[in-house]
Amino acid sequence: MTATSPVSFGARVQAAMADRGQFCVGIDPHGALLRDWGLTDDAAGLETFAMTVVEAVAPHCSVVKPQSAFYERHGSRGVAVLERVIAESRAAGAQVLLDVKRGDIGSTSQAYADAYLDPASPLAADAITASPFLGFGSLDPMVDTARRHGAGVFVLALTSNKEGPEVQHATTDDGASVAGLVLDRLRGLNAGADPLGSFGAVVGATIADPAEDLAIHGPLLAPGYGEQGGGPADIARIFGGSARHVLASSSRAVLRLGPDRAAMTDAVRRANDELAEALA
């Protein structure tokens, strides 16, 4: 690494997990949650909700994960709130994983990379989620842009939604599964990285049996933790020796405690303690 090269996302996220724990909070402003908080389901309510959550959790967790769709549905004012969430979460010391699940080809893939991974963009985050199901090579512009700017990409591999297996468990002529091919490509991208690669996999915290090698020398995002059924024992069971690289992600288990900031902060601390104890 030269003196002017950015610190890699892999190095930053590993340091953040060591310092702040492995719990990741999804900042997902569902309309029902806004109403439960006594807020209007509009851009003004969105802003109050999102910034209250940022204040409560971003100083205490390693990674926050705003889901872009819940901001986009409020139009340009909602996207402006997302820009604030990204900027203020990073200012509070959290890494920001923007959940956009983008996947396209050529110049469109590059445009997504420029929007979310280039520091010149107001929407630039530390990492994004991406879909490889147009072929893993379709993600090359995102991978190249992430490398250039010290960012990361988390690629869908083994998701816990019931529709996922029809694609992810499909096999090629030589018997390899689609998920296995995705994980192999990520393993290749992370080869030789020190201390950890910047290209992660999304693997659900509620899947029954991964049946794949999850040791990709990169971070692993495990959505479905908490109220969706995944717990510390599932993280240990699914990820085995790679569990130390897992970000266990939950949103509603924390967000439903708002607008009480202290309660949300305490929930983050408890989750980090539970994970640390289980994965020690």
**C-alpha radius of gyration, the chain, whole number:** 18
Determine the pLDDT at residue 1. 45
Mean pLDDT of the chain: 95
Determine the pLDDT at residue 229. 82
Model confidence at 3: pLDDT above 60: no
Across 37-41, 171-175, 269-273, least confident range: 171-175
Tens of pLDDT, residues 220-279: 999 999 887 889 999 999 999 999 999 999 999 999 999 999 999 999 999 999 999 999
Structure pTM? 0.96
Residue 101 appears among annotated catalytic residues: yes
Take residue 270 and report the two structure tokens written for it.
């408890």
Residue of 101, 237, 256, 261 with catalytic role: 101
Model confidence at 158: pLDDT above 80: yes
Q: pLDDT tier at 4 (50, 70, 90 boundaries)?
A: low
